[in-house]
Structure 1
Amino acid sequence: MDSAKTSIVAGIVLMAMGLLFLLDRLGGADSGVYVPALMFAAVGAVFLAIFFRSREHWWAAIPGSVFLGLAAVITATQVIPGSAGGAYLFLFMAAGFAAVYVRQPDNWWAVIPAGVMFTLAIIVALPQALHGTAVAAVLFLGLAATFGILSLIPVRTSGHPGRLMWPLVPAAALGLLGVIFALQATAQLIPVDFAVPAVMILAGIALLVYAYRVRDRGPRTH
């Protein structure tokens, strides 16, 4: 990063820290609480500047998202009561890995950790009343959706564009487990008489999607 960009980042950090200390002196805020968050945000901004500087610096989105996520968690714990603030870290990390793929589509592998981080963010944000089998349902369904998306996006392997087929296998297995846990989690709300038709409807939708994909075949990568 050149000296001009470094000066801009340093100037913004100094101004923000000065404002926090001023508010502390005036009794408007406890600046000591937000200084760590500001430091993490400054480091994250540096990595983001490196990321936007060149396509070859796609890796900088990962540490940048981590530091920005830590800053968001520290800030959220001071503003929002409860333990859901930790979800911001996973959200920022999911955005970081998604940015890696958007910046360089050859890094299709980044879709997997992006989906995993987003799923963990949802799990952390779930209320305490939904913990148990609901967490397992969200986990498996989120992972299934991740691999399902991976099978839909165009990738380039061995110099040939196409789509990956192998993610459909873990997507189907994880999706089945997710549906089972989801039905167990809602067993008290959905009578058993409705569970079997619900499974049949889901299976029918899966078959229709599969038939559509077979009919609309394009270049694929095995």
Structure 2
Amino acid sequence: MKSARTSIAAGLALMALGGLLLLDLLGVLDTVAFLPALLFAGVGSAFLVLFVRSRDYWWAAIPGSVFLGLAAVVTATQLSGGDSGGTVLFLFMAAGFAAVYLRERANWWAVIPCGVMLTLAVVVALPAQWQGAPVAAALFLGLAGTFGLLSLVPVRSPGGQARMRWPLIPAAALAVLGAAFALQAAALLTAADFVVPAALILAGIALLVYAYRARHRGHKVHGA
């Protein structure tokens, strides 16, 4: 069974390599530009095979996700030239730590880096104009959610399984900081977004008042 899985992985890798070489010969893609991605994908796939073959190799999901993430970043950059590489890499790393926990539930600690990587993926994906308080709010609230989720994870104890309570302390502290930055971001957003509409409305009211008073004075002059 294990040899069959290895043969399948090797066959898929050879097919992918042959397909890229064919696209290079046809002038569709520049294979040399994708060579780093192929190397990263090959190393990542090797770690992934180790992870799949035995439960003892749960740790292989971490380097495997990193190398596969790097391959995805290089590929996405070559195809689109976008700046979402950081988000893609953090998502792959989060998936690796999630796999570590799902493979062996005793590795509850993997929930923390998984949540951190997801939070960083969100932070990196935020628009450039949201720098400052919004980024800090997303960071602290994401970390608070991570520790809050950790408090719900059952762990082994002498009496069976129980849930940890200590993650609630950093979760509460981080949530308070995140809420403070969120309120600050909301105040800044309100001031920045509504100052122009408010100025236009006030200017319109001033013009209406001026027109009313001018018309009222005109009536008085004509009636005098």
Task: Give 1 or 2 for the bigger CA radius of gyration.
Answer: 2
Quickly name the TM-score band, shorter chain normalised: 0.7 to 0.9
Deviations 1:18-61 (A, max 9, x none): 22122122111111121211221122122112112222221111
Look up the match of 1:11.
Answer: 11
The alignment of Structure 1 onto Structure 2 pairs a total of residues equal to: 191
Distance 1:10 1:151 in 2: 41
RMSD: 1.9
Look up the match of 2:92.
Answer: 92
Distance 1:3 1:155 in 2: 35
Letter of the 2:184 partner, please give it.
Answer: Q
Distance 1:79 1:30 in 2: 11
More helix by share: 2
Distance 2:108 2:188 in 1: 40
Distance 1:28 1:38 in 2: 17
Matches within 5 A, 1:6-155: 6-155=6-155
Quick check: 2:91–2:117 contact (8 Å CA) kept in 1? Answer: yes
Q: TM-score by structure 2 length?
A: 0.79
| SS of aligned partner of 1:82 | coil
Structure 1 residue 5 displacement after superposition = 4.0
Distance 1:76 1:128 in 2: 20
Structure 1 residue 70 displacement after superposition = 0.6
80 and 129 in structure 1: CA distance in 2 versus 1, 3 angstrom threshold:
farther
| SS of aligned partner of 1:135 | helix
Q: Percent identity?
A: 65
Extract unaligned runs of 5+ from structure 2.
Answer: 192-224
Q: TM-score by structure 1 length?
A: 0.79
1:184 aligns with 2:221: no
Letter of the 1:173 partner, please give it.
Answer: A
Letter of the 1:171 partner, please give it.
Answer: A
